[in-house]
Homo-oligomer: A and B are copies of this chain.
Amino acid sequence: MIDIDDVYRAAARIEGVAHRTPTITSRSLDQTVGAHVYLKAEPLQRTGSFKFRGAFNKIASLSPEEREGGVLAFSSGNHAQAVALAARLLETSATIVMPADAPALKLAATRHYGAEVITYDRYREDREAIGGRIARERGLTLVPPFDDLEVIAGQGTAALELIDDAPGLDVLLAPVSGGGLVAGCGTAVKALCPGVRVIGVEPQAGDDYARSLAAGRRVSIAIPETIADSLRLTSPGELTFAINQSVLDGVLTVSDNELIAAMRFAFERLKLVLEPGGAAALAALLAHRVELAGDTRVCVILSGGNVDPATFSDLLGEPR
């Protein structure tokens, strides 16, 4: 499907454009969980999440004709912003199909980056049908949120950086929704450090990946009711699932309350803003879901930080 060379090519394309995000350590976190923890801080990536890596790599790899015609994406938010910015930087136009109830910050940021936003009703309309129709009518090239080899290779560049920053890694924990982040990072990690366990984390209410891996085939669930707006998909991607069947060593689930606890920990102790979905891997670690020895070196991908201050306050239930 993809191999480490695809990830290296993606790394060359995004170099000097994407941020090389810092890997952060916290001794209080190490003490809390009883291991050496390395936090890959993708909220500090451009557009506030890892999604910029894949979106930029995909658009940069289009043919001149495709790029000339403009791109289209559908996304609950982070991919939308990523495609909008990547398109602007690569001097093409972006049309983004977003759920009308996407976080206000994500809608506003996508428009801010210069994209045309078309909203739809997440519970009644089919975004793929809407997106497909508009793409055909306008001659736009689709930039899929995860089920695309160039997108997957782009997301894998995060792993190249963290392998550099966290030598001797034993475990990689990353949120999983469509599965592009773990597929790309898993491919890189298994190629360069085959002994590393790669573990995905998803919301309990949206455990389609855990079910699908257990079933050995892609399982669909109802639209999950979770605070993690970026992890609300109903089934694994086709390409990502095929890759993840070989690179994933397991999938863990976390409750909404565990996501909130991780967001609070990040705010209070790490001074980082995490959106609910971006906190999933940290939540699994803090909830002691991962088997660790004292000398285990575990890298946690903090995948995004796009949350409104008002939503953040509401979620944490702070007294006024």
| Residues in A lying within 8 Å of B, measured CB to CB | 19, 22, 24-25, 27, 43-44, 46, 48, 105, 264, 267-274, 305, 308-310, 312-314, 316, 318-320
Contacts and interface: CB of A to CB of B under 8 A. Distances in A.
Chain B CB count within 10 A is highest, among A105, A271, A316, for A271
A41 to B, nearest CB: 8
21 contacts: A22-B24, A22-B44, A27-B46, A44-B271, A48-B269, A267-B309, A267-B312, A271-B272, A271-B273, A271-B274, A271-B305, A272-B273, A273-B273, A309-B312, A309-B318, A310-B318, A310-B319, A312-B313, A313-B313, A313-B316, A313-B320
Nearest to A308: B268
Q: Which 10 A-B pairs have the closest CB atoms?
A: A271-B305, A43-B271, A313-B313, A22-B22, A271-B273, A310-B318, A313-B318, A309-B316, A309-B318, A267-B273
Contacts of A310: 318-319
Chain A facing B: main interface SS: helix
A264 to B, nearest CB: 6
Nearest to A113: B28
Contacts of A24: 22, 44
A264 B313 contact: no
Given A27-B46, A272-B271, A320 B316 contact: no
